[in-house]
Amino acid sequence: MYLIDFLKEKMIWLDNRCRNTIELFQMVSDQALQLDLVTTSFLSKINERESCFPTGIQLNGYGIAIPHTDPDCIKEQFIGIIIPQKTISFKSMENEKQVVNVDLIFILGLNQPHCQLTVLQQIMRVIQNKNHVNQLVKAKNNNEIIQIFQNISLEDK
């Protein structure tokens, strides 16, 4: 199981204009509902979880967030990738009183318990590699994002 297996081209947004997590989660929820990936409770659950368990992390000069929610509102597993045009503020997972200005967002829509740990471990390997993060935030289109994850999957084999 590799991250590439969870990517869906219609769940990748580059140069995104969302200004905050409210707009971001609404956009992701709308698209995921349209693609029948989630239930109608997805939006409220992801907002609730992010407010209780913040996911912003500062690493290698980049702000990264990995929001996710309860498996019961996920119909089909996915990873959404968002590269915002301007950074979006997330509370830090290390100290919720601190804010992380996020350049790269991974939205995890996972409904299998064994997947979450594996996917999180793989994402941590990706974001700890400054070269990978740099490639992702500078990607020009969705195909480049997919190619980057294909290459990462080959490295992991």
- More confident call, 114 vs 63: 63
**What pLDDT was estimated at residue 55?**
97
Taking CA atoms, 148 is separated from 31, 54, 118, 126, 134, in Å, by 23, 27, 19, 10, 11
Could you report the per-residue pLDDT of 39-59, keeping only the tens digit for each?
Answer: 999 999 999 999 999 999 999
Return the CATH number at 88: 3.40.930.10
Q: Region 69-88: what's the mean pLDDT?
A: 96
The range of the structural domain enclosing residue 67 comes to 3-156
Non-local CB neighbours of 86 within 8 Å, separated by 6+ positions: 19
pTM of the model: 0.96
Domains in the chain, number: 1
Strand partners, 7: 79
